[in-house]
Chains A and B, each alone.
Chain A
Amino acid sequence: MAGKEVFALQINGTRREIFAPGDATLLDVLRDDLALRAAKRGCNQGVCGACTVMVDGVPVRGCLTLAGACTGREVTTLEGFADDAAMQALQEAMILSGGVQCGFCTSGMLITARDLVAQTPVPDEPAIRSALSGNLCRCTGYVRIVEAVTDAALQLARQKDTKREAVE
């Protein structure tokens, strides 16, 4: 293991200083040093998607990102989306659809889904399944998660239309 170093990271809009092994992953410091535990350590190999977080607005694997490579970058975890309307819509839809069972995959699913609805306002089912294909869920069989993302995306698109009409 590499010796300990000080990392100065920008996490959820706040500058944080962490003293951790030089080869620590972003996931390691989020969970073990900052107690931000929405991102989960599943496989630690980049396969399961439970650790998905945003770096500079792009979803990445927390377990495959080294903390030392994040200096000067903006890291956003699920906790950082607490006031985000799109994330709230996704979270509510997940609850209503029954897309959460054990909950281990949920944080990563939500980050990936949040990126999808930002890029593709009304994604169809194949687009949702493709986008979420790197987030493994061993409980739900995915049907209810796909339903939740579909419902949230429709609701968000409708809200946007309503706002546009109000402005016009």
Chain B
Amino acid sequence: MSFVVAPQTVDEAIAFLAANPDARPMAGGASLVAMKNARLIEASHFVSLARIEALRGIGPSAAGGLRIGGMMHHRQIAECADLTGGWQMLRQAAGLIANRVVRNMGTIGGAIANADPAADYLPVLACAGAEVELVGPDGLRRLAVADYLVDWYETALEPGEIVTAIELPAGGDGPSVYRKLARTPGDYATVSVACAREGAGPDSSVRVAVGACGPAPIRDRDAEAALAGRLHDPAAIAAFCATLAEQADPIDDVRGSAAYRLKLIPRMVAAAIRDVTGDR
């Protein structure tokens, strides 16, 4: 049996992973092969998901939203004309991952399985209220991002389970925005913010998720409700930003100190809210 196996269906992949507990699923390989090259991981086989047709495509979901196959590349998502309005932020995030060539390789399913807290999709998906679809030997399940993420780099994925799709609820007309502060284009975020506006009238509200400042994106629905109808009130926005910053658990790393990240959160959240309200 060769080291790389490339099943044609999800069922074949799941069966192979179940029969070979030391095998690992491989999406685009952009992170997994780098880890192998650095001798950080060992595996009996890499089970490439690249030839499974069912993991491709972006289209309507059964629930009336959008379904994105797990093997869609960042470049395909960045170029997807259907991602407008409330979904625009996903398109922006995909286009800011790494660089042109790596975006041809990396996939949304792989990125979510890897679950780097500083990577770009997670805050967007938390903001959108997306669900992650997992398939394993026990069948299919869909989890909200908050339930999928367990801790730093730890997800609800069980051995032998793979990410098959992401489902976004109907996105609304938006607008939405993804803001990323990074040391250099294509780096992981020092801090990132996804923000989408709900409604256009005086009662309109925002959904906001902050990335790279803890094991999972920070989102506070109570604080969002308190801010509804006050999107042009600087004091209300400052209070909202402070509430999110209080929930952050950033680390000191090469991209910035925890203290620096805590200072960035209010500025970036306020800027993202201004992006979707049009205030300057």
Give chain A's interface residues, CB within 8 Å of chain B. Answer: 2-3, 5, 21-23, 25, 44-46, 49, 52, 58-61, 63-66, 68-69, 71, 112, 115-116, 130-131, 133-135
Contacts and interface: CB of A to CB of B under 8 A. Distances in A.
| Majority secondary structure, A binding face | mixed
Contacts of B33: 25, 46, 63-66
B218 to A, nearest CB: 28
B64 interface: no
B62 interface: no
Contacts of B105: 46, 60-61, 64-65
A66 B100 CA distance: 19
B264 to A, nearest CB: 22
B34 A46 contact: yes
Interface of B: 2-4, 6, 26, 29-30, 33-34, 36-38, 46, 48, 50, 98-102, 104-105, 185-186
A64 B100 contact: no
* The 5 residue pairs across chains A and B that have the minimum distance between CB atoms: A134-B99, A22-B3, A68-B4, A2-B3, A64-B33
A69 B98 contact: no
Given A5-B3, A64-B33, A45 B38 contact: yes
Contacts, number: 92
A147 B37 CA distance: 34
Contact of A22 (B2, B26, B98, B100): B2
Contacts of B3: 2-3, 5, 21-23, 66, 68
Contacts of B48: 66, 69
